[in-house]
Amino acid sequence: MFFAKRGHIDKILLATVLAIGLLGVLFVYSATWDKNASGPGLNTIVVKQAMAVMIGLVVLLFIANMDYRRMRDLGYFLYVVNLAALVFLLIFGGERYGARRWINLGFFSLQPSEFVKLTMILALGAFLSDRREKIGGFGNFFFALVLAMPAFALIFLQPDLGTALVLLPILFSILFVCGERKRYLAACVGLGVAALPVLWSLLKDYQKTRLMVFINPNLDPLGAGYTIIQSKIAIGSGGWFGKGWLNGTQSYLKFLPERHSDFIFSVVGEEWGFAGALVIIALYVLFISRGLRIAANTDDVFGKAVAVGVVTLLAFQVFVNISMTIGFMPVVGLPLPAISYGGSSTLATFIGAGLLLSIGRKAAR
């Protein structure tokens, strides 16, 4: 059957995702609000974000009510199509902000790298499910790495270091929970650390600068370090309860760059303060905990792999995004899921939540 009949939708997870999406629209509005505008009308960015949330909700409900095991049959196909889109971008894609990441579809731009995170999860889940009796063998582990390698390489070449790095914890977490040997995982981590000098030489100059500025933002206070400095000022000035919605001076005075996308958590901290930031973090923690609960209750290898992959994807992005806004990690260009402006990122988050809900329905006892 295409649609699942067993179990009920996890209403707590559904409400959590919806709350995050709606708060995202509110903060995108606040981050792009022009105090001196002649009227209160919505700008294009807010409209696009609201549409992404509405479309995402429809897609989420559709996926949540289908039998997720149908996605196993489509996993490889969707992954290959996604890889083809990334290749198309490298060859024919227009450059924006020094990178080739977006396919222009008129009213909106599609970012294939946001969806390859999910299609790689589906492909890995299908691979491990089809070879469940070989899990634990080196050959199985090696071919899983080979399966993920094209996505990592194509995204790294865009260049998009942040998104490429997301794929690594997704890959390792799926392999770990599906029973691959820990010594293989440890060996990969060791090789990665040993290869850091080589990887450093492959980075673009601006990427190297970002890493250096992370150590000392004052190294380039008017250049690469400017955003980090302004972000920390915004969050620190919010105090316990913030300055109030639409009252963030760093935002409407435009001191803070990328305030509607990568640094939207800075807007949250300034306007809602420490208490508001905790509310956002609590919603993500609830999302992650419900996802882990679904993964723990799933016996199916494919379902467990997909659930853990989606949870890792969300958790890693939330951790890195918030950490970079407060200066605990270098700026790598990862959005805050379903809150940062970005139709592709928001839609991918809702699709991931839909997969969790579908797996949860099947696993419900």
With vertex at residue 292, the alpha carbon angle to CA 291 and CA 295, rounded to the nearest 5 degrees, is 90
Q: What is the pLDDT of residue 217?
A: 65
Task: Quick: pLDDT tens for 124-134.
Answer: 999 998 887 77
Would you say residue 4 has pLDDT above 60?
A: no
Q: What is the pLDDT of residue 259?
A: 79
Phi, psi of 21 (to 5 degrees): -65, -45
The pLDDT-based confidence of 328 (bands split at 50, 70, 90) is confident
Residue with tokens 């090696």: 142
Closest CA to 163 of 215, 102, 107, 224: 102
Quick one: residue 98, left, alpha or beta (phi over 0 = left, psi -120 to 50 = alpha)?
Answer: left
CA atoms within 13 A on the CB side of 272: 18
Q: What is the pLDDT of residue 98?
A: 58
What residues contact 109, with CB distance under 8 A and at least 6 apart? 102, 103, 343, 344
Task: Quick: pLDDT tens for 284-308.
Answer: 999 999 999 999 999 889 999 999 9
198 against 296, higher pLDDT:
296
Average pLDDT of the residues in 148-163:
87
Task: Quick: pLDDT tens for 231-265.
Answer: 888 888 888 888 887 777 766 666 677 778 888 99
The pLDDT-based confidence of 215 (bands split at 50, 70, 90) is low
Residue with tokens 């929970």: 177
- pLDDT over 70, % of the chain: 85
> DSSP assignment of 53-67, as one string?
HHHHHHHHHHHHTB-
Closest CA to 287 of 269, 313, 306: 313
Boundaries of every domain in the chain: 11-363
CA–CA separation, 224 vs 214, rounded Å? 9
Cα-Cα-Cα-Cα torsion 59, 63, 64, 67, nearest 10 degrees, comes to: 170
> DSSP assignment of 134-152, as one string?
GTTSHHHHHHHHHHHHHHH
CA–CA separation, 135 vs 308, rounded Å? 17
Average pLDDT of the residues in 184-190:
87
Residue with tokens 């209750």: 297
